[in-house]
Structures are given as C-alpha cells and as structure tokens.
Amino acid sequence: MDLTIRRRDQLFGYFLTIPGLATLIIIIIFPISFTILTSFFDYTLITPNHDVFVGFENYYEVIEEDYISDSVVTTAQFVFLTVFIELIVGFSIALSLNNIHRFKNIYYLIMLAPLLMNPVVVGLMWKMILHTELGIINYLLKIINIHRFNWLGDNSLAFVSIIFVDIWHQVSFMTILLLAGLSALPKEPYEAAKMDGASGLKCFIHITLPLMRPVIIVAILLRIIFSVKTFDIIYIMTKGGPGISTDLISYFIYRSAFFSLDISRASALSVGLLLSVIMFTLYLYKNMNYTNKHG
C-alpha cells in the first residue's frame, strides 16, 4: 500500500516536471546536441544534413586557423579585465551602499538602470556617445581643449572602449550579488572583532572578505561565463574591429557561421568554447572552494 502511494507520488512528480523538461530539451539540450553532432560532420547550408562524417577534422581546422589564437587572447584579456575591474568597482559600491540607510532605494534604482537596458540599446547608445564627430564625449573634450579621440576606430582605444561599456553595463550585476551577500552577513562577528581590538580595515580583511568568499566566487564565476559570451555590444559597436582588435571568440564564431558560412567549423568552435568554459569554471570553483574549506 505504502509502496503504491509512493510510486503514485513519484509518477505525479515526474508528470509535474514534464513542461519544464520539455522546454529545457527544446531550447537547451536540442541545440547543444545538434551543435555537437554538426561539429563531427561536413555540414553545409546547401545540403543541410549529417551525411558526411569527418570525425575531428573540423577541430583540427579550428586549431590550425590563422586568427584563432588572436581571438582567444583578446577574449582572455577582455574577460580578465572586465571581471577584475567589475569586482573591485562592484565591491566598493556594494560596501558603500551597505552602510547607507537614507535614500537607499534611489541609489538602487540609479545603479540598476544600466542592467535593465537591453545590450543592443546599450551598444547603440554608447556608439553614439563615443562617435568621433557627433559624440558627446569628444564634444566635452573639445570644450576643455583636448583633441578628440577616435574611440571605436583606433585599435587600442576600441578595446578599452568596449571594456568600459561592458563594465558600465554589467557592474551593477556584480554589485547586486555582493550587496546581497554583504547584507546577509551576521553582525555579531564584527562586534566580537571590535571587542578584540580590530579596526575597520582589519574587520574588512579578517571578517568581511573570508565570510564573503562564497559569494565572491559565485559572482566571479557568473561574470566570467557571461563575459566569455559577450556578443551584442561587439556586434553593434565594432563588429570585431578595427582589424581584429575587438574580435572576441563569440564574434569569431558568428563570423565563421554567417560570413564564411562554415557551419561545421563554427560548431566545432562553439563546442570547444563550451568545453573550455566548463573546464575553467570547474577548475576555478574547485580551487576557490578548496581554499574556502581549508584556508
């Protein structure tokens, strides 16, 4: 009797998960499986079927690709700089907001505004702001007699501009996560530390940072994953240029698929990117968690 009821409950449980699982299969599992499958075949848009199995040939092609290493290095630099600066800036803002009690909601609203914007809108907006001839930045610089810059047309400036725009757009995500962590921290260890003779800075180093470590890890991991995938602002603002100075891996894949029309190679690249992100995330999570447990 008991067993029958349990079995019935289990079946009902499975039944309830069907809509969720179906959605998951359609929008996640199917595209990923299709991409993995395609990466092992010679798949062209003229004959869109999996007839010619080529094994790892697409992967070898990707490795031998001329500009792939440049794109990987650019992406790595982009990810490191955006996540690192966002962590520092986001943590500083979160710490200040955590100590503010008046007009907190207004600050929240101002801070959240960029995050609520569509990345395409952000890209278009900043493209205008940074425009060499019509942009407000160059106009303001001109007022104070500084020569205008070609923000998105100069090799090194374009990379810096893209990083700046990404930070402007995403820093509030980091801030919100860290602020949630900070506001959930227990008050008592701070009081105990004060009684033990700790100053504000010592409290931050010895109490806040260690207690915040799990939240910081999650925030960094999420931002790394999002940052590696950055596509919209590149597509809108620079299209990977000038030259290949902002050619992030996601845009590189897009070009392979929709400019070179090499779907198989783009699939192999996507699978490679997915695997590297998974491996890197696991490595980071394992390492940071280890120090958290034993540090």
Partner 1 sequence: MAEIELNNLTKIYPNNITAVQNISLKINEGEFIVFLGPSGCGKSTILRMIAGLESITSGEIKINNKIVNNVDSSERDLAIVFQNYALYPHMSVFGNLSFGLKLRKTSKSEIEKRVSVTSEILEINHLLTRKPKELSGGQQQRVALGRALVRDPVAFLFDEPLSNLDAKLRGIMRTELIKLHRKLNSTIIHVTHDQVEAMTMGDRICILNRGEIIQIGSPLEIYNNPVNTFVAGFLASPPMNLINSKISISNSKIDFYLSDNKITLPVKNYPHLQLYNDNEIIIGIRPEDLYVHQINKNMQELNVNVLNVEALGPETILVVTFKNGKEIYLRVEKNYFSKYNERIRLYFDQNKLKFFDSLTQNAIF
Nearest distance, CB of residue 174 and partner 1, angstroms: 22
Residues near partner 1, by CB under 8 A: 186, 188-189, 191-199, 202, 206-207, 210-211, 213, 295
Distance CA(180)–CA(112), nearest Å, equals 14
Q: Would you say 117 or 193 has its CB closer to partner 1? A: 193
Degrees to nearest 5, angle at CA 191 with 189 and 196: 90
CA–CA separation, 252 vs 274, rounded Å?
14
* Cβ 282 to partner 1 shortest distance, Å: 23
Min. distance of Cβ 76 from partner 1 in angstroms?
Answer: 31
User: In the complex with partner 1, which residue's Cβ is closer, 85 or 193?
Assistant: 193
Q: Sign of dihedral through CA atoms 155, 136, 233, 109?
A: positive
Q: Which residue number, 212 or 271, has a Cβ lying nearer to partner 1?
A: 212
Return d(Cα 265, Cα 269) in angstroms, integer.
6
At closest approach, how far in Å is the CB of 289 from partner 1? 13
When the beta carbons of 17 and 199 are compared against partner 1, the nearer one is 199
Please say which residue, 66 or 188, places its beta carbon nearer to partner 1: 188
* Six-digit token string for 18: 């069907």
Nearest approach, Cβ of residue 201 and partner 1 (Å): 11
Name the residue with tokens 């079946």. 11
192 or 279: whose CB is closer to partner 1? 192
Helix residue ranges per DSSP H, 184-262: 188-196, 200-203, 209-228, 232-237, 249-258
- For the CA atoms of 40, 41, 42, 47, what is the dihedral angle to 10 degrees? -150
Instruction: Provide the b/e sequence for 88-116 (b: ≥16 CB within 10 Å).
Output: ebbbebbeebbeeeeeeeeebeebeebee
The least CB distance from residue 195 to partner 1, in Å, is 5
The residue among 31 and 186 lying less far from partner 1, judged by its C-beta, is 186
CA angle 38/41/43 to nearest 5° reads: 70
> Least distance in Å: CB of 186 to partner 1?
8
Here the tokens at position 292 are 């958290």
